[in-house]
Structure 1
Amino acid sequence: MKQTFQVTGMTCSACSAHVEKAVNKLEAVSKAEVSLMTNSMSVEYNADAISPQDIIHAVEQAGYGASLPQKDKAVPLPDPNSQLAQELSAMKRRLIWSFVFLIPLFYISMGHMLGAPLPSFLVGMENALAFGLTQLLLTLPILYINDTYYKVGFKTLWHRAPNMDSLIAVGSAAAVIYGIFAIYQIGYGLGHGDMELVARYHMDLYFESAGMILTLITLGKFLEKRSKGKTSQAINRLMDLAPKTAHVLRDGAEVEIPVEEVRVGDHIVVRPGQSIPVDGVVVEGSSAVDESALTGESLPVDKGPGDKVAAASMNRSGSFTFEALRVGEDTTLAQMIRLVEEAAASKAPIAKLADKVAGVFVPVVMAIAAITALVWFFVSGYDVTKALTAGVAVLVISCPCALGLATPVAIMVGTGKGAENGILIKSAEALETLHSIDTVVLDKTGTLTQGKPVVTDILPGSDMDEEGLLLLAACLEGPSEHPLAAAIVEESRRRGLSSAVVTNFTAVHGRGVRATLKDRTFLAGNQAMMEETGVALGDFPQKAEELAAQGKTPLYFADENQVLGVIAVADTPKPTSAQAVSAFRQLGLDVVMLTGDNQRTADAIGKELGVTQVMAQVLPQDKEAKVRQLQEAGKKVAMVGDGINDAPALARADVGLAIGAGTDVAIESADIVLMKSDLLDAAAAVELSRATIRNIKENLFWAFFYNSLGIPLAAGVFYHWTHWQLNPMFAAAAMSLSSFCVVSNALRLRFFKSKFRPAPCSGACPVEQPEPDESNQINDEKGDEQTMEKKIQIEGMMCQHCVAHVEKALTALGGVSAAQADLEGKCATVTLSAPVSDEELKEAVTAAGYEVVGIQ
């Protein structure tokens, strides 16, 4: 049996490793995998030999908590966003109050070194006791606020599995214990007039070290917590894609029922603009179905009797009836949701370098401290004070202040620099993992290409010119809602061609359209339509074949006798795609392109961009499987995508990168979001990750370098020759210097620049004047007719079909000569040849189903 458990109490990769080890020890367990990111554990075990309660007991024995998740899907699970918000709010309060007490603590303990004045009751040897007690009273609230480190740290230490919390707990507790011991020594010295003893311990308290460790570690954990827990949001968005009701035929009547009540065999009616509620097969009617929510491909698929349809697809044109084949958790959408859940749970987090050494560093330091105390106890003639001083001094000097700063400071600077460059890094784990990838998998549509078909070639016959063929095509395709038709109409509009209205418009399913223009019948469609009609093809099939070999879709236009020309439409590559592929290669990465397109189209795009490894005709669920296959072959994989169908693959990959203009689900499933939708930023993210990890390793070196120097000195190794044991100034200087080196080194990341992008212009660069765009000057060429442009801010556009609907609604208004919608900019620009009020523009967009938020 394979069972998923929820695990609580884990704070680092050492914790997840210990839980795995504890469960894998059980004889009936064949495999246990723990995910720190999702706080879950997947266990494969023999259900006849062991029960879930036995597994839970093993986790509890290891010092953590475990439970079975709720099985009833109808019962809403606790909102992860709300839980995350509560945890963040609590941690933020801890952080604020920690700083409230840390600032005066630091001022009192360290301010005099900078010449800052102190209150008179804290100055002088006679006030040494007040000086120490004041620092202790300011430290105690910080210890109380951050007591979780002690609860977790000492518990894991007790179970012989020390982690970073153990390091923090031991180091800060040692500093506080030594400080309290020093206060007693000061009190003893003042009571017995031994001012030498007072002077020895007056500035040797280390309370500020404990306060600083706890506060700065809390700051780092707060920043990490803020970027965690996005997978559940992605799953919620996937669930929202499915409609909540379905129109089912029952006893000859159409009734609307909740989608949960749909049964296999039910006949369901779907009208234009409605989502398909479950998987099934068409039994009556035909339509063009937009499957981009599942496949990511921009072109709707023609469906007729016998064709299969999937839940969450959108019906774009005609009405049809289909028979339900898969419902509930068996639908394609439900399977994708399950893939996202499983992929997210199986993705192991990167073990922090500090956590890796904690398991060795903590026991080694404690052993050195214990040996030091014993040696001094016997060497000094059974002097308990000297033994305690030496033992605690080792712990104090090895206090992990710089070690705690080494990773979070570099991560903070690295993620900040990424944000400046439009690279949103959502977790420290992603930034760490990205440096080690060796393979990058690229989705085609919307990632390598524009995601929107455009006209690429116009091949007129001998009786026509380019503009004449394009004008005819625009007239025929004008009433159609097909994206290929929209591409032709858009090209005609860009060139300033005014189309005429056709009559007797008929859409032939799977073939094309037929219409009458000026008493002549014209055809527009594929080669099959031309052959069935019997028109003369001439040499156009050969030309169309050449276009198809280049990954383009050729459309024939003909009258009743002969083909008049061919227009090719294609989803063209983005301007920087080829450069990005080259950049990946320069970084030593293998590049793989995944697409649902046919092999010929995919090979053509791959050849144009320089991609040698192309995987075509990949179904949505297979994208995740392809990524898993690469991982099983020993590859570290980064996946770049933008569609909902990419969400499982993004979650499965070691690092998922989402194009910013893509769907919300892809963005939520990914670890890194490229806000500018530029693939070059993916290469820059890899560069930034490598620079950050190199910086972290340098930081850890400096942190341990000072500890390594300080521990022998504190242990008294040099005492015989130098009579040096523990100089408080040396300890303070070592700690400050190690922290200063770590922070200064991390700040070097602020000067990071990608070698694949030119340096930004400083203001003295010559400004390149853009060439005039003829398409925007149409109105100036048409006599003295006055025109104007208006920009409409629109919410609700989700894809290129939305763009086409908005443009169609606006151009239908009298006085609007052209309309250009921008999906990324969430706006539309209209060119007016006659006065049109803002209210009319707003009503047109609203009637199309979108929201107008402003008009300029």
Structure 2
Amino acid sequence: SAWLSLKNRFANMDVLVALGITAAYGYSLLALFGLLGDSATAFFETSAMLILFIRFGKWLEARAKGQASAALKKLLELQADSATLLDGGVERVIPADQVKVGDLLLVRPGDKIPADCVVVEGEAAVDESMITGESLPVEKTLDSKVIGATINRNGRLVIRATAVGEGSVLSNIVRLVEEAQGDKPPIQRLADRISNVFVPLVILLATLTFCGWLLGSDQGFLFAFQMGISVVVIACPCALGLATPTAIMVGSSVGLEHGVLFKKATALEQISKTKVLLLDKTGTLTSGEFKVDRITVVGHFNEGDLLRYAATLESGSAHPLAKGIVAEAEKRQLERLSVSAQQEIGGRGVRGLVGGKEVACGSRDFLIEQGITAAVVDRSPDGDGPGSQIFVAIDGKLQGVIALTDAIRDNVAAVVMRLQHMGILPVMVTGDSRHVAASVARAIGLEHFEAEVLPGQKLDIVKKYQQQGQLVGMVGDGINDAPALAQADIGIAIGSGTDVARETGDLVLISGNLIDIVRSIELGRKTLGKIRQNLFWAFFYNALGIPLAAGLFYPAFGLSLKPEFAGLAMAFSSVSVVTNSLLLRREKRHFLEK
């Protein structure tokens, strides 16, 4: 490692150790053959003990790192060994790694799901705790997605494989965590820059130590030489190099065990410093599944006809409100009319020809743009009622208002309160009217919100808070909020458990549980705290060890440090840093499991 480092004109930490071992061994060879005079003493044991102690330290370090990556090992061990293939109605057991995309598989109660699949027949409760961290089984029915390595607790399922091998959710999670553990946050880059300067500085200190003892005392060449080697060996900044990576490794593994996937090492540091957290309302604070609450008719169309026209027009839209209107029409078994010239205006509304009539559905402002007088819209009897309103105009006249609601997620109020206690400003972002936004904000204890925000404006909201000097986090669904998540200092995607590889953002809450936002912030702060502790002890060790190895305490107290024991001290400093990082696993119950 030292040789490769020097070839690349870079002095890494191994250069110091290699230099100390080589110097001691070279001196001993010269002394053995009498080339340094008859009084010269060989000390081969120093080189041997240095290698022994340093390898012992590396072994302890490797064991500690192995514990740190235990979560990944557990995940990989979860994969099913076999699968029951349905081939022309005949059941055949095959190795799980032979499953191909499109294969039909049978899963009985107690079996592991062998690959990522979609349910084509049957119902069952599936345990996804190993992926999402949620202990309660998830009900699966026709067209539900199931994740490889999860367990069928009851019921019989016939499933079709959709992703296998490297393309599976499990493999993607492992890959993303490994990438995060290999990533370098800003605090690690600072440590690297210090290490680059540290190596030549130590060689200079060792040279000065040697010259000082040789020329300024009567201890002799051998004593001065050993002191110089001790300085080189004890000053090796291995602990400095381990301070950040081990804490990141443990932090990301602990997060994974609790359904929090850090896709970048920088996310652990950034989330710990977040001051403003923007929360998308639909799909994040609420379920995102809108239901028609009431229909108010103001024209000559009856309620059923009004809904039929609106649902027909909205049938081509992917907007959550549109889906709610279409679902209500299907529930009432209303037949769709013919539709043409359908045009959706980004997040505001839809217009087109339905059954030969010009129909427009959307927000208040959208209908005013379509020529409906503002006063007419504002006089509508349900214009400012609870829920999200869709105004419906037919042939240029307002005919009614469809109000939709989506349920607020469990524990949202508790999450908001916890965020506020942590010194973070939570801000709700929604496309709803200010009246609706204020109603939701009151229900969950929020003081700040941004209302009537179009999808493309979320990016501007993030920039606005960043321009105020705030470190901004954005929580969204990972797909509709992609630009805002990418712009935020820390993008947090609410995952579904099956789309973690496609999610935008630096961090994915796999289970979709909002309390994981608080947990991830706590984990980020604890991990950053461990990094700072590790860096402090690494520097403190060198600040104490180098003077001792240089013999500064020898004249007054007779204290000195032989090179081999300097090597032992260096090895144990590295182990202590790794052990301190591992304590994060024991401390997690105080902040993740409460």
Q: Which of the five TM-score ranges fits, normalised by the shorter chain?
A: 0.5 to 0.7
2: CA distance, partners of 1:641 / 1:727: 58
1:406 to 243, 258, 270: 243
Instruction: Say whether the 8 Å CA contact 2:309–2:337 is kept in structure 1.
Output: no
Shift in alpha-carbon separation, 1:525–1:694, aligned structure 2, 3 A: closer
| Structure-1 residue corresponding to 2:132 | none
**Cα displacement string for residues 626-679 of structure 1 (whole angstroms, at most 9, x for unaligned residues):** 433423322122222335563343333322222224997995652222222333
Partner of 1:741: 576
Q: Alignment partner of 1:568: what SS?
A: strand
Shift of 1:167: 5.1
Q: Deviations over 1:385-419 (max 9, x none)?
A: 43332222101011122222221111101000111
In the aligned structure 1, how far is the partner of 2:413 from the partner of 2:501?
A: 23
Structure 1 counterpart SS, 2:513: coil
Q: Which residue of 1 aligns with 2:491?
A: 656
Structure number with greater Rg is: 1
Q: Secondary structure at the match of 1:545?
A: coil
Q: 1:661 to 1:502 in 2, by over 3 A?
A: closer
Does the alignment pair 1:421 with 2:271?
no
What corresponds to 1:243 in structure 2? none
- Equivalent residue for 2:187? 351
Decide whether the 8 Å contact of 1:213 with 1:404 is kept in 2: no
- Which residue does the alignment assign to 2:147? none
The match for 1:387 is 224
Q: In 1, Cα distance between the equivalents of 2:484 and 2:448?
A: 17
The one-letter code matched in structure 1 to 2:192 is: D
- Is 1:444 matched with 2:300? no
In the alignment, the residues of structure 2 paired with residue 364 and residue 722 of structure 1 have an alpha-carbon distance, to the nearest angstrom, of: 27
Q: Which amino acid aligns with 1:544?
A: D
Please say if 1:594 is aligned against 2:425: no
Question: Partner residue of 2:389?
Answer: 553
Determine which of 478, 489, 505 is the counterpart of 1:670.
505
Conserved 8 A contact 1:143-1:211: no
Provide the TM-score with structure 2 as the length reference.
0.61
Verify the 8 A CA contact 1:366 1:395 in the aligned structure 2.
yes
Shift in alpha-carbon separation, 1:527–1:414, aligned structure 2, 3 A? closer
Change (3 A) 1:555 1:633: closer
Give the drift of 1:437: 2.0
CA distance, structure 2, for counterparts of residue 621 and residue 478 of structure 1: 25
Is the contact made by 1:658 and 1:667 (CA closer than 8 Å) also made in structure 2? no
Report the Cα distance in structure 2 between the residues aligned to 1:619 and 1:206, rounded to whole angstroms: 64
1:489 deviation in Å? 5.2
Which of the residues 521, 524, 532 maps onto 1:689? 524
Q: How does 1:141-290 map to 2 (within 5 A)?
A: 142-143=1-2, 147=4, 149-151=5-7, 154-155=9-10, 166=11, 168=13, 170-181=15-26, 184=29, 187-188=32-33, 197-198=42-43, 201=46, 203-206=48-51, 209=54
What is the identity, as a one-letter code, of the residue corresponding to 1:499? Q
Q: Mind listing any 5+ residue stretches in structure 1 that lack a counterpart?
A: 1-141, 156-165, 225-347, 462-467, 533-539, 760-856
- Asked if the contact 2:278–2:429 (Cα under 8 Å) also holds between the matched residues in 1, the reply is yes
User: How many angstroms does 1:584 deviate by?
Assistant: 1.6
Q: Note if contact 1:555-1:567 (Cα within 8 Å) is conserved in structure 2.
A: yes
Counterpart position of 2:102: none
Q: CA deviation at 1:717?
A: 1.6
Distance 1:731 1:460, change over 3 A: same
Q: Distance in 2 between matches of 1:598 and 1:542?
A: 15
Distance 1:498 1:625 in 2: 40
Check whether the contact 2:47–2:564 (CA below 8 A) recurs between aligned residues: no
Residue in structure 2 matched with residue 277 of structure 1 by the alignment: none
Contact 1:186 1:202 in 2 (8 A): no
1:799-810 equivalent positions in 2, closer than 5 A = none
Tell me whether 1:574 sits opposite 2:444 in the alignment.
no
* Aligned residue type for 2:6: Y
Alignment of 1:451-600 (within 5 A): 451-457=288-294, 479=312, 481=315, 484=321, 486-488=323-325, 490-491=327-328, 499=333, 501=335, 543-547=381-385, 550-553=386-389, 567-600=402-435
**Cα offset for 1:734?**
1.9
- What is the 5 A alignment of 1:32-181? 142-143=1-2, 147=4, 149-151=5-7, 154-155=9-10, 166=11, 168=13, 170-181=15-26
CA distance in 2, matches of 1:637, 1:718: 51
What is the rounded CA distance, in whole Å, between the counterparts of 1:201 and 1:382 in structure 2? 19
- Measured in 2, the distance between the counterparts of 1:505 and 1:631 equals 44
How many residue pairs get aligned? The number is: 455
Query: What is the DSSP-based 3-state SS (H/G/I as helix, E as strand, rest coil) of the residue aligned with 2:549?
Result: helix
* Separation of aligned partners in 2, 1:744 and 1:457: 60
Counterpart CA distance in 1 for 2:590 and 2:292 is 34
Cα distance in 1, alignment partners of residues 454 and 293 from structure 2: 27
Deviation readout 1:500-546 (Å, 9 max, x if unpaired) = 64778899986799889xxxx9x9978999xx9xxxxxxx9664124
Go from structure 1 to structure 2 and tell me whether the alpha carbon gap of 1:662 and 1:608 turns closer, same or farther (over 3 Å shift).
Answer: farther
Q: Shift of residue 422 of structure 1?
A: 1.4
- State the distance in 1 between where 2:464 and 2:391 align: 38
CA contact (8 A) 1:638 1:653 kept: yes
C-alpha separation between the residues in 1 aligned to 2:263 and 2:195? 26
- Aligned in 2, Cα 1:490/1:376: closer, same or farther, shift over 3 Å? same
Match of 2:224, as an amino acid? A
Distance apart, 1:567 and its partner CA = 4.7
> CA distance change for structure 1 residues 629 and 666 in 2, over 3 Å: closer, same or farther?
farther
1:179 positional shift:
4.7
Q: Could you list the runs of 5+ residues in structure 2 that have no partner in the other structure?
A: 70-183, 344-349, 371-377
Which whole-Å deviations, capped at 9, do the CAs of 1:449-474 have from their partners, x for residues lacking one?
A: 3334322346799xxxxxx97x7777
Q: How does 1:780-799 map to 2 (within 5 A)?
A: none
Task: Name the counterpart of 1:320.
Answer: none
Paired AA for residue 375 in structure 1: G
TM-score by length of 1: 0.44
Aligned mates of 1:688, 1:566 — CA distance in 2: 46
Q: How does 1:636-655 map to 2 (within 5 A)?
A: 636-644=471-479, 646-655=481-490
Q: C-alpha distance in 2, partners of 1:503/1:438?
A: 50
Match of 2:234 among 385, 397, 403: 397
CA contact (8 A) 1:453 1:569 kept: yes
> CA contact under 8 A between 1:446 and 1:642: conserved in structure 2?
yes
Amino acid at match of 2:333: S
SS of 1:450's partner is: coil
Relative to structure 1, is the Cα distance of residues 573 and 212 closer, same or farther in structure 2, using a 3 angstrom cutoff? same
Deviations 1:796-836 (CA, angstroms, capped at 9, x unpaired): xxxxxxxxxxxxxxxxxxxxxxxxxxxxxxxxxxxxxxxxx
The 1:192–1:382 alpha-carbon spacing in structure 2 relative to 1, beyond 3 Å, is closer
1:431 corresponds to which residue? Answer: 268
CA 1:640 to 1:475, structure 2 compared with 1: closer, same or farther past 3 Å?
A: closer
Change (3 A) 1:436 1:359: farther
Q: Call closer, same or farther: CA 1:214–1:733 in 2, change over 3 Å.
A: closer
Aligned to 2:547: 712
- RMSD, aligned α-carbons: 5.1
Q: CA deviation at 1:212?
A: 7.1
Shift in CA distance, 385/192, structure 1 to aligned 2, threshold 3 Å: closer
Cα 1:385–1:196 shift into 2, 3 Å: closer
Q: Structure 1 residue 441: deviation in Å?
A: 2.2
What is the Cα deviation at residue 742 of structure 1?
A: 1.8
Assess if the C-alpha contact under 8 Å between 2:312 and 2:337 holds in 1. Answer: no
Q: Deviations over 1:686-709 (max 9, x none)?
A: 110110111122222333333333
| Contact in 2 for aligned 1:456/1:569 (Cα 8 Å) | yes
Change (3 A) 1:661 1:389: same
Task: Say if 1:175 and 1:207, in contact at 8 Å, map to a contact too.
Answer: no
User: In the alignment, which of 434, 439, 447 is matched to residue 612 of structure 1?
Assistant: 447
